[in-house]
Chains A and B, each alone.
Chain A
């Protein structure tokens, strides 16, 4: 099975900050990497698919990059509504799409 790791596990940031979250796969997954945002007591929401494609309706301050085993999610200017937990997910091993452990972004 493909294992996913994320760093950091949590971070504190201020509104307007640039935030970067890293995700690593245990083997090459090409560009089959997605990012989700989850707010408390809500379902996850797809932000980025195929490593760098922005899901429809998602603000352009979110961006993704990477391929192979190393990926990043960047929020260019953190907004109050962005405080949430972010999960990466590999979609290389169809259909067993495993998730990373999550990164919680909270207010500094």
Chain B
């Protein structure tokens, strides 16, 4: 059974940093691209970032480019999102998501971790 378990969320002040982790199990992690998707309170889903199988290619939404860094450790089956220069509008539940075998949908999601940016 595929499992994705996020951690690292919490309360941080504007301008601060946080690193999210997503521990993966139940599938061959280094065979699948991975993504982060967020959801602000009461709002819809927003794609944030994606990373290729090897980690050599990374992609970002315009809203986070230059502030967030996605990475992965294939030896430890873990996905990361380093978030710097956080803003109030980054407040959201952050989900990690696994690509389907064709790389065209997210067939498994974590339970999410809440990031709150507030003074």
Q: Is B28 an interface residue (CB 8 A)?
A: no
Are B44's CB and A101's CB within 8 A? yes
Are A99's CB and B44's CB within 8 A? yes
Closest partner residue, chain A, to B112 (CB atom): A43
Closest-CB distance, B112 to chain A (whole angstroms): 6
The segment out of A16-24, A67-75, A76-84, A89-97 that lies at the interface is A89-97
Residues of B within 8 A of A46 (CB): 100, 105-107
Are A43's CB and B105's CB within 8 A? no
Complex Cα spacing A91 to B101, Å: 13
Interface residue tally for chain B (C-beta within 8 Å): 22
Given A91-B104, A94-B103, A44:B46 Cβ within 8 A:
no
Are A50's CB and B107's CB within 8 A? no
Closest partner residue, chain B, to A100 (CB atom): B44
Complex Cα spacing A46 to B97, Å: 11
Are A34's CB and B45's CB within 8 A? no
The residues in B between 31 and 85 inclusive whose CB is less than 8 angstroms from any CB of A are 33, 35, 37, 44-47, 50, 59, 61
Given A43-B95, A43-B110, A44-B109, A50:B47 Cβ within 8 A:
no
In the complex, the number of residue pairs spanning A and B with C-beta atoms less than 8 Å apart equals 62
Please tell me which one of the listed residues B45, B61, B109 contacts residue A45 in the complex, with CB atoms under 8 A apart: B109
Complex Cα spacing A57 to B94, Å: 25
Q: Is B111 an interface residue (CB 8 A)?
A: yes
Closest partner residue, chain B, to A45 (CB atom): B109
Closest partner residue, chain A, to B60 (CB atom): A96
Q: Is A87 an interface residue (CB 8 A)?
A: yes
Are A49's CB and B112's CB within 8 A? no
Residues of A within 8 A of B106 (CB): 34, 36, 44, 46, 89, 97
Please tell me which one of the listed residues B35, B37, B100 contacts residue A49 in the complex, with CB atoms under 8 A apart: B100
12 contacts between A and B (CB under 8 A): A36-B45, A36-B106, A43-B111, A44-B95, A44-B106, A46-B100, A50-B105, A89-B45, A91-B104, A95-B59, A98-B47, A99-B44
